[in-house]
Structure 1
Amino acid sequence: MQLFKSDNRKTSILPLFAVGTFGLNIFTLLILMFHGSMLQQLSRQLTPQSLVQLADGRAITADTTENLERYPQTIRRFVGETMTLMLTWSKQQQPETVWQISSELLTNNVKQKFQSEVIDVNTTNQFENRGAESVLVIQRISQPQKIGDGKWKVELQANQLIFNNSDRLGKSVPFNKQILVQATDTQTTSLPDLPVSWNLAAYRLGEARLEIYNICDIKDKNCS
């Protein structure tokens, strides 16, 4: 009779032991999953994203090795679209706003030079002329000339068409420049909480991880 009770107790303990073992295994699995997610996040932080260049000139970022090389079409597209973004504005999109957004694609040492010598063409302050509208019409972008590791020179021939309330026919200002660009390790542009179309355009250009570090006249032989 006592033997029967002892066996009955052992039988009743077995389900509890099985439930406890199962619960322990679940807890261990959750810990392993947590550690795995932490390792993945750490891996992402230690492995910076690098540039992936597409055949059509567009650029995206991916987790690959860093490099300072860029396809010629990527450089030409960056230069053409960046200068078009900077020198195209209207009553709806004032030049101050355009400049604030697009100047992220320039290095600090060239920002003031560009604003004073290029945007304020013919000593006329376009920023103060609220009725002015500007469009950059590109005629030619040369093939990039490599001038150093991760550095290139591009010749741009274009015309800046400027319109205002008193002159709807507008005037054409030659824009023939040498544009010097360099590769960067990280993207220089960022998006605000409520981006507008110009923010998105500048951010997309910044994905090429290029920046303009000098702008010279096309005939300047000392541009460096």
Structure 2
Amino acid sequence: MVNLLKKRQSKQTGSVLTTFAIATFSLQILVLILFIIQGLNIRQLSLRKPPNFVQMIDGKTPTVTDELARDTESISLFVSKTMTAMFNWSGNLPPQNIEEVAKPKPDPGIQVRTLKGGNRNVTTSTWIASFAISEDFRKGLLSAIAELTPPEVFANNSSQNITAQLVIKRLYPPQKIAPGKWRVGMVADLVQTKRSDNRRKVTAFNKDLLVRAVDYFPYPLSENSTDLQKAIYSTRTDKLEIYEIRNLCLIDEYNSPDDQTKQCLNNKSNSNFLR
């Protein structure tokens, strides 16, 4: 009788241990599955594109829009800011503090290779602003600007020094040509001035700029980042880039019918600025 009771107790104990082991194992599997799901969710959040916001005219809370949508005023401001920075050649570095505003540092320029094979300098502000240009277009554009930039821009001698300024006369409203792509016409003059006698050379600079929306991931900069790195970083915050520049075909109206525009472009086989 005693042996029978011991056998029953042993069976019950083994059954309880087996049930406990199965329950523990199942719980561990469940926890592992939850960890995997959580990890996948975190990865999806890290890869998700940041939403775009547009400030409403009446001051309401910014509204999330399509990732390719951009406000027309923002596009115009981006084009104006980028082109002005690229073609305003003062011979000085952009000021970083109040002291440098009163006493600017001379710009040594940044050397790039020209289309003809030689090396020429572009201004530091031009080089920084060029990061708002698409990567496949940026190198050729810098080479062309280097050939346009007079060496006297970097001369320390005031009698030889030349400055330049892009005077934008008119910036046409952006025309949407495809989802996330716009065409912006610019009528401007590139005014070069010799400081010694204020003689000026005015060159018409009428261009068609093709702009497109791009992704931007705001990676934080370290505290010891240089002013140059911060400036380059800031050029991409508009989530826009210029991917082509053409000579602007001036006709009666910029927003003319498509057949007139095509005819105007066809009559100028060399209408592209660089391409």
Shared fold, TM over 0.5 = yes
Pair 1:144-2:174 in alignment: yes
- Is 2:187–2:205's contact at 8 Å kept on the other side of the alignment? yes
- Is 2:129–2:235's contact at 8 Å kept on the other side of the alignment? no
Q: How does 1:106-117 map to 2 (within 5 A)?
A: 106-117=133-144
Q: Give the direction of change, closer, same or farther, for the CA distance of 1:73–1:42 in structure 2 (3 Å limit).
A: same
- Is 1:78–1:205's contact at 8 Å kept on the other side of the alignment? no
Which residue does the alignment assign to 1:97? 124
Which residue does the alignment assign to 1:53? 54
**Which whole-Å deviations, capped at 9, do the CAs of 1:188-207 have from their partners, x for residues lacking one?**
999681215x954x644522
- Is 1:110–1:215's contact at 8 Å kept on the other side of the alignment? no
Q: Give the direction of change, closer, same or farther, for the CA distance of 1:171–1:214 in structure 2 (3 Å limit).
A: same
What is the letter of the counterpart of residue 176 of structure 2?
K
Distance 1:77 1:140 in 2: 12
For 2:227, which of 183, 187, 195 is the aligned residue? 195
Which residue does the alignment assign to 2:213? 183
What are the ranges of 5 or more consecutive residues in structure 1 without an aligned counterpart? 1-34
Which residue does the alignment assign to 1:163? 193
- Is 1:103–1:111's contact at 8 Å kept on the other side of the alignment? yes
Q: Could you say which structure has the higher strand fraction?
A: 1
Which residue does the alignment assign to 2:261? none
What is the letter of the counterpart of residue 91 of structure 1?
G
What is the letter of the counterpart of residue 103 of structure 1?
S
Structure of higher RCO (CA pairs closer than 8 Å, 6+ residues apart):
1
- The SS at the match of 1:213 is strand
**Which whole-Å deviations, capped at 9, do the CAs of 1:40-69 have from their partners, x for residues lacking one?**
97575243323223357xxxx99x676111
Q: 1:84 Cα shift? A: 0.7
Give the fraction of aligned pairs with identical amino acids, expressed as a percent: 28
Distance 2:219 2:146 in 1: 21
Between the two proteins, the alignment pairs up a number of residues equal to: 178
- The SS at the match of 1:168 is coil
TM-score, with structure 1 as normaliser? 0.64
Q: Give the direction of change, closer, same or farther, for the CA distance of 1:48–1:208 in structure 2 (3 Å limit).
A: same
TM-score, with structure 2 as normaliser? 0.54
- Is 2:183–2:208's contact at 8 Å kept on the other side of the alignment? yes
What is the letter of the counterpart of residue 50 of structure 1?
P
- Is 1:104–1:189's contact at 8 Å kept on the other side of the alignment? no
| Root-mean-square deviation over aligned CA pairs | 3.6
Q: Give the direction of change, closer, same or farther, for the CA distance of 1:134–1:50 in structure 2 (3 Å limit).
A: farther
What are the ranges of 5 or more consecutive residues in structure 2 without an aligned counterpart? 1-34, 94-106, 108-121, 155-160, 250-263, 267-271
Which residue does the alignment assign to 2:253? none
Pair 1:126-2:145 in alignment: no
Q: Give the direction of change, closer, same or farther, for the CA distance of 1:151–1:216 in structure 2 (3 Å limit).
A: same
- The SS at the match of 1:68 is coil
Distance 2:81 2:88 in 1: 10
Tell me whether 141-150 or 88-97 shows the greater mean CA deviation: 88-97
Q: 1:129 Cα shift? A: 3.8
What is the letter of the counterpart of residue 128 of structure 2?
I
Q: 1:151 Cα shift? A: 0.8
- The SS at the match of 1:111 is helix
Q: 1:180 Cα shift? A: 0.4
Pair 1:83-2:83 in alignment: yes
Q: Give the direction of change, closer, same or farther, for the CA distance of 1:41–1:167 in structure 2 (3 Å limit).
A: farther
**Which whole-Å deviations, capped at 9, do the CAs of 1:56-108 have from their partners, x for residues lacking one?**
7xxxx99x676111111111111111101111121222343112211111112
